[in-house]
Amino acid sequence: MFNTLKSLCSKPKAFEKTTVADLWTDPHRATQMLSNHLNPQNDWSSRNHEFINTSVNWIWNYFDLGSESRIADFGCGPGMYTSSFAKRGAKVTGIDFSENSLEYAKSIAQKQSLDITYHHMNYLDFDSNDTFDLITLIF
């Protein structure tokens, strides 16, 4: 009896019940996560719009990017950086395993006619032979 009670009260081992991926891909959490990403009032999922614009400007100028530049964003989420780079004329690839964030990102790219290719995949499975050359960025 003691052993049964002990096992019922024991804490699960880390990641025994859920994985880190569940944080992003579980449908309920992913919905909450997307709304946090898109909320300009908070800075703890995506950074605020001003920060994103300032970062993209800095990267664009520092690496002397232009319309021939190809940029890959690993963990692009709803595509706030990918969209911003594409608006400046770069050819952009976004990679993420959150389906609903990617759906949102694709809808924005379509509405705004932005040249962005999105891949639904775990970026840890990315094969460097498929490299998107010139520059890769991780946010």
- Give the footprint of ligand SAM on this chain (CB under 6 A): 24, 37, 45-46, 75-77, 80, 95-98, 101, 122-124, 139
Query: Which amino acid does the sequence have at 124?
Result: L
Smallest distance, Å, CB 70 to ligand SAM? 18
CA nearest neighbour of 56 among 90, 15, 102: 90
Give the nearest distance from C-beta 67 to ligand SAM in angstroms: 23
DSSP letter at 103 equals: H
We find the least distance from the C-beta atom of residue 138 to ligand SAM, in angstroms, to be 9
Q: Which is nearer to ligand SAM, 91 or 126 (CB)?
A: 126
Question: What is the closest distance, in whole angstroms, from the C-beta atom of residue 16 to ligand SAM in the complex?
Answer: 19
CA separation, residue 98 to residues 17, 22, 36, 42, 74 (Å):
19, 10, 14, 20, 12
Helices (H), strands (E): how many in the chain? Answer: 6, 4
- Cα distance between residue 113 and residue 97, in whole Å: 23
